[in-house]
Structure 1
C-alpha cells in the first residue's frame, strides 16, 4: 500500500484504503448472516465471492486513488460475506467438540500465505507492478472458489423454519449501511484534519464515534457495549484486540520503509514473522485451549500483544534497530493467534441454529469495526503530529491503551456449559 499510495498520490487516503474495506464488510456480514439463517450459507457465500473478485479487478485497474478505494470498498462487501458464511458452514457441518480444532486449522491455513504473501506482494510491487497484487489474487480467488463449491455440492445446509419478520431484516440491513457509512466517514477524518486542521478532524471523529456506537448496538448481542459477561464480552473483546493489532500493524511496513529504508519486499517479509507466530499459537489453542481456560488465554494473549506494542513505541521513539520491532511483532501475532480462534469457538458455543448467522455476523462486525475505527483514529494521530518519529511512537502507544482496555471483557468470558455434539456430515467423492 505504501507503493500504491505514492504512485496514485493518495497519502491522504492511505488509512481509508484499509479502514474502508473493513467498514463495508459490515454490510456483507449482516446481509450474509441474515441470509444464512433464512436459507443456508451456500448461495450467500457464492455472492460474496463474486463481490470480492469484482472489487479486486476494480482496484487492479484503478487509475486514481479514489477508484482504488472504491474497489477496496466492494472487496469489503465480499470479505464480510465470506467470513460469516464460512462460520455458519462450520457450525452446521462439524460437531461442537471439533470447533476448536477447525478454527485452529483456519488459522493454520494462513501459514503458507503468510510465509510467501507479504514477501511476494512486495516483490510484485517492486519488480512488476502493484496492480498485479490485486489481479493475481483475483485469479487465486476463482481457484479457491472452485475447490470450496465442489465440496459443498449436495450437502444439506438449509436454514431454519423460524425466520425473523421481513421488517426487522430490512431494518438491520439499513443499520448495517448506516454503520458502514459512519465507519468510512471516520476513516476520512485524517483527510479532514489535513485539509481543515487537527481540531476539526478530532471533533468530526468524536461525533462519528458516538453515532457509530448508537447505530451498531442493534447489530450486536444485548450488553455488548458494556461488556456484559458471556457472549457480549466475547464480541467486544474481538473488536478491541483486532483494533490493537491491525491499527498498529498498518504502520509497521510504513515505519520500516520511511524510517529504516526498507524496500517493499523486505517490509512485507517482516510481517511474515508475526503471521507464523499467529498460526503456531492458534494450533496450540486448538490443542490446549480447554485446559488453559478462557480467562487465562485472554491474559496471556493480551500480555503478549501489549508487550509488542510497547516495544513498537519504544523502537519508533528511540529509533532502535529495525530487528527489535520485527522480533517484537512476532509476540503480537502470537498473542492474537491464541485469542482469535478461541473467541470464535465461544461465539458458536453460545449460539443455536436459529442465531448462528446473527452471532457470527456480530463477531465479524466487532472485528471489522474495531479494526477500521482503530486504523482511522491512529491515522488521525499520525497526521495530526508533525514529527514522524513522534507520530509512529504515539500510534503504538494508542494500540497499547486498546490492549489494556481489552482486559475488561477478557476477564468476563466465563465458561460455556457443555452442549450435545451435533450430528456429523461426511462428504464423499460423489457429493452426497
Structure 2
C-alpha cells in the first residue's frame, strides 16, 4: 500500500483526527480527575464519599458500553456517538459547577455513560469508515491517543487546579468535547445503519448496571474482610459475585469463560490482560515509594515510560502484516509476563528499584501490541451487524477486569496496612498472580483465531 493511502490520507484525515481527539479527551479526563479530586472533595466537604466518584464512573461506564453495542448495530454510530458526547459534556458541566458531593458524583456518573456510548461508537466508526487493511493502524490511533494525556495530563491538570481551580479541569474540556463531535461528523455521514440488528440496548444497560454493581460490592466485601468485619464481608461477597456473573453472562459472548474459539476467546483474553496490567499499574508508584524510598516524581515516572512503550507497541502492530494476529497477541502477552515477573523480583529484600523503568517500558510495549490486536481480531471476525455488540463486549471485558484488578490490588494494600502481611509480600503475590494470568492468556491466544463462523454476542 502506498504511503498516501494511510489513515491520514485526505479521505480519512478528519476521521482519524476526530478519533484521536475524542479518545485523548476521555483519557485526559480520566487522568485529570485524580489530580483534581483532593481539592474537589475538600471544597465540597465530601471526603467520606471520595470513592463514590470513581465507583459511579465505573458502573455508568459499563451501562453506556452495554447500551451502545446493539444501538450502534441497529442505527449506526451517529446517534450513540453524539448522544455520548452530549451526556459526557453535561457531566463535565455538572461536576464543574457542583455545589455538593452528590452533584459532583452525579456529574461523574454522566461522564461514565457518555464515555461508554462514545467509545463504542468510535469502534463502530473504525469498522465502517476504514478498509480492513487500515483497521490495525486506525486502532493504533486509539492506543496512541492515550499517550499525550499520560505525558501532560497530571502536570497540566495540577497546574490548572493550582492556578484556576479544580472546576476548570472539567469546564475547560467542554469546548474540546464539542469540537471532537464536529470533527467526526464526516465519518458519521459515511457510516450507514445496518438496520437489522436486534433491539436490546436497554436490557444490556440493566445487566451492565448489575455487573458494575457486582464489582463495587465485591470491592466493599474485600475492604470489609481486611477490616475484620467477616460477617459483612461474607454477605457482600455472596451478593456481589452472583451479580457480576449474571451481568457478564448476558453481556459477553457465549463461551467467553471457556475461551471458546473466535470472538469469545478474544474478549476473554482482553479481560485477562487488562485485569493483570491495571492491577499492577495501580500500585507501581506506591511500591517504589514504600519499598525503595523513591520520591513522588521518580515513583510516577515508570507510568510515563509505560505510556511510551504502549505507543511504540501500538505503532509496531499497525505495521506488522506478515504475522498472524494470534501469534502477535501471544508475543505481546509474553512481554507482559516478563514485565510482571520482573516486578515481582523487585519486591524481594535488597532488590534495587531502578529496573522498574525498563520493565514498565516492556509492559507498555506488550499492552500496545495486545490492545489494538484484540480490537482487530474482533472486527475481523464480526459480521457487519455484530461489530457494535462485539466491540462493546470487548470493552466491557476490559473495564470490568480492570475494576476487579485494581480492587484486588487495593485489598492487598489494605491488608498490608492492617498488618496482615508485609507490603513487599503482598505486592509480590500480586505480581505473580498477574504473570500467571497473562501466561494463561498466552497459552490460550491460539484460540483467538477465527472460528468456522462468526459468534455474535447474546
Compute the displacement of 1:99 (Å). 1.0
- Report the counterpart of residue 394 of structure 1 in structure 2: 429
Q: Following TM superposition, by how much is the alpha carbon of 1:30 offset from its aligned partner in structure 2, in angstroms?
A: 1.8
Stretch moving more, 350-359 or 228-237: 350-359
Q: 1:53 pairs with 65, 89, 94, which one?
A: 89
- Tell me, in whole angstroms, the C-alpha distance in 1 between the residues paired with 2:319 and 2:439: 27
Deviation of residue 409 (structure 1)?
Answer: 3.2
The verdict on how the C-alpha distance between 1:211 and 1:256 changes in structure 2, with shifts beyond 3 A counting, is same
Q: Distance in 2 between matches of 1:160 and 1:3?
A: 42
Alignment of 1:351-362 (within 5 A): 351-362=382-393
1:330 equivalent to 2:361? Answer yes
1:379 to 410, 423, 434: 410
SS in structure 1 opposite 2:260?
Answer: coil
- 1:390 shift after superposition: 3.7
Alpha-carbon offset, residue 225 of structure 1: 1.5
| Cα deviation digits, residues 186-241 of structure 1 (max 9, x gap) | 33334434555367436634652343123211222221111101111001111111
Give the aligned partner of residue 117 of structure 1: 153
Report what 1:426 is aligned to: none
Aligned to 1:226: 258
Match of 2:115 among 66, 74, 79: 79
Residue 160 of structure 1 is matched in structure 2 by 194
Give secondary structure in 2 for the equivalent of 1:291. coil
Matched residue, 2:206: 174
Structure 1 residue matching 2:333: 3-state secondary structure: helix
Matches of 1:14 and 1:303, distance apart in 2? 37
Counting only pairs closer than 5 Å after superposition, residues 9-48 of structure 1 correspond to structure 2 as 18=54, 20-48=56-84
In 2, the alpha carbon distance for the partners of 1:84 and 1:59 equals 23
Q: Distance in 1 between matches of 2:222 and 2:210?
A: 20
Q: Bigger CA drift: 374-383 or 387-396?
A: 387-396
Q: 2:211 touches 2:247 (CA, 8 Å); kept in 1? A: yes
TM-score normalised to structure 1 length: 0.83
For structure 2, the 5+ residue unaligned runs are: 1-33
Residues 307 and 169 (structure 1), Cα distance of their counterparts in 2 relative to 1, 3 Å cut = same
In the alignment, the residues of structure 2 paired with residue 160 and residue 219 of structure 1 have an alpha-carbon distance, to the nearest angstrom, of 21
Q: Is the 8 A contact 1:16 1:187 kept in 2?
A: no
Give CA deviations for 1:280-315 in whole Å, capped at 9, x if unaligned: 111111111x42223322322112112222232333
What CA RMSD, in Å, does the superposition of the two structures yield over aligned residues?
Answer: 3.3
Provide the secondary structure at the position in 2 that maps to 1:185: helix
1:245 aligns with 2:277: yes
Report the 3-state secondary structure (helix = DSSP H, G, I; strand = E; otherwise coil) of the residue aligned with 1:51.
helix
Matched residue SS, 1:186: helix
Alignment pair present for 1:302 and 2:333: yes
> Which secondary structure state, in structure 1, belongs to the residue aligned with residue 385 of structure 2?
coil
- Identify if the C-alpha distance between structure 1 residues 129 and 254 changes in structure 2 by more than 3 Å, giving closer, same or farther: farther
Superposition deviation, residue 317 in structure 1: 4.5
Determine if contact 1:299/1:407 at 8 Å carries over to the other structure.
Answer: yes
- Cα distance in 1 between the residues matched to 2:196 and 2:119: 23
User: Quick check: 1:101 aligned with 2:137?
Assistant: yes
- Report the Cα offset of residue 334 of structure 1: 0.5
**d(CA) in 2 for partners of 1:89, 1:51:** 19
Question: 120-129 or 84-93, which moves further after superposition?
Answer: 120-129
In structure 2, the CA distance between the partners of 1:231 and 1:190, relative to structure 1 (3 Å rule), is same
Change (3 A) 1:140 1:310: farther
Contact 2:283 2:409 in 1 (8 A): no
1:292 lines up with 2:327 in the alignment: no
Q: What is the SS of the residue equivalent to 1:292? A: coil
Instruction: Tell me the TM-score normalised to structure 2 length.
Output: 0.79
Check 1:158–1:279 CA distance in 2 against 1; reply closer, same or farther (3 A cut).
same
Secondary structure at the counterpart of residue 406 of structure 1:
helix
Structure 1 gap ranges (5+): 420-432
- Counterpart position of 2:295: 262
Give the direction of change, closer, same or farther, for the CA distance of 1:41–1:351 in structure 2 (3 Å limit). same
Partner Cα distance (1:170, 1:177) in 2: 11
Pick the aligned partner of 2:381 from 333, 343, 350. 350
User: 1:414 corresponds to which residue?
Assistant: 449
Post-superposition shift, 1:70? 4.4
Change (3 A) 1:81 1:161: closer
Cα distance in 2 for residues equivalent to 1:137 and 1:37? 29
Deviations 1:2-47 (A, max 9, x none): 7835984888877765565333222111211122122111111111
Task: Kindly tell me the number of residue pairs found equivalent between the two proteins.
Answer: 413
The match for 1:148 among 184, 195, 198 is 184
Which structure is higher in RCO with an 8 Å CA cutoff and minimum separation 6?
1
Q: Aligned to 1:405, which of 436, 440, 456?
A: 440
CA separation in 2, counterparts of 1:92 and 1:344? 14
CA distance in 2, matches of 1:304, 1:339: 10
Q: Relative to structure 2, which stretch is displaced further, 209-218 or 96-105?
A: 209-218
Q: 2: CA distance between counterparts of 1:143 and 1:94?
A: 22
